[in-house]
Amino acid sequence: MTIGEKVQADIITAMKAKEELKLTTLRMVKSALKNKEIDKREKLTDAEEQQILTTLIKQRRESVESFTKGGRPELAAKEQAEIGMIEGYLPQAAGEDAIRGVVQAAIAALAEGGNKPGPKDMGTVMKAVQARIQADGLRADGKVVSEMVKAELAK
């Protein structure tokens, strides 16, 4: 069952249970998925659906930060609840140890080709790490990955 199919089934359940916040959040997710599908003019892959949900979560986190700074805790709490609902459709987030292992493995693989990558090779290493994370079916915050890569390259 794809993410889109799961969202549609949960929309029906939320309607029957009269859960207004969940219903509006799921409709927003479905709308984002459908818009991307229309733009692409073909079915979305699992990776693309996950990328859209990751983008939605990132937007919600930025909103939480803005609402907190603006003194609107009730809106920040609503956004935080939406983040929790959306994250339920994504694979489990990788822990720091798992991410560090992927980063070290990617750097080691790049080092096999010749010299060890340094801080100037950040972009190349990030591409390799993100590809490995996606291939392993994991999910990781880009900021966390970036900081780990930076720390490992500085060694």
Report pLDDT for 121.
Answer: 82
Domain ranges in the chain with CATH number 1.10.1510.10: 3-87
Which residue's entry shows tokens 């290493």? 125
Check: CB of residue 117 under 8 Å from CB of residue 125: yes
Fold exhibited by the domain 3-87 = Hypothetical Protein Yqey; Chain: A; domain1 (1.10.1510)
Domain ranges in the chain with CATH number 1.10.10: 96-154
Q: Which DSSP string do the residues of the chain spell out, in sequence order?
A: --HHHHHHHHHHHHHHHT-HHHHHHHHHHHHHHHHHHHHHTSPPPHHHHHHHHHHHHHHHHHHHHHHHHTT-HHHHHHHHHHHHHHHTTSPPBPPHHHHHHHHHHHHHHHHHTSSPP-GGGHHHHHHHHHHHHHHTT-B--HHHHHHHHHHHHH-
Residue 37 CB contacts under 8 Å (≥ 6 apart), including other chains: 43, 44
Q: pLDDT by residue (tens digit) across 6-56?
A: 999 999 999 999 999 999 999 999 999 999 999 999 999 888 898 899 899
- The residue-averaged pLDDT of 83-110 equals 86
Which residue's entry shows tokens 């549609």? 8
- Report the CATH number of the 96-154 domain: 1.10.10
Report pLDDT for 56.
Answer: 95
pTM of the model: 0.73
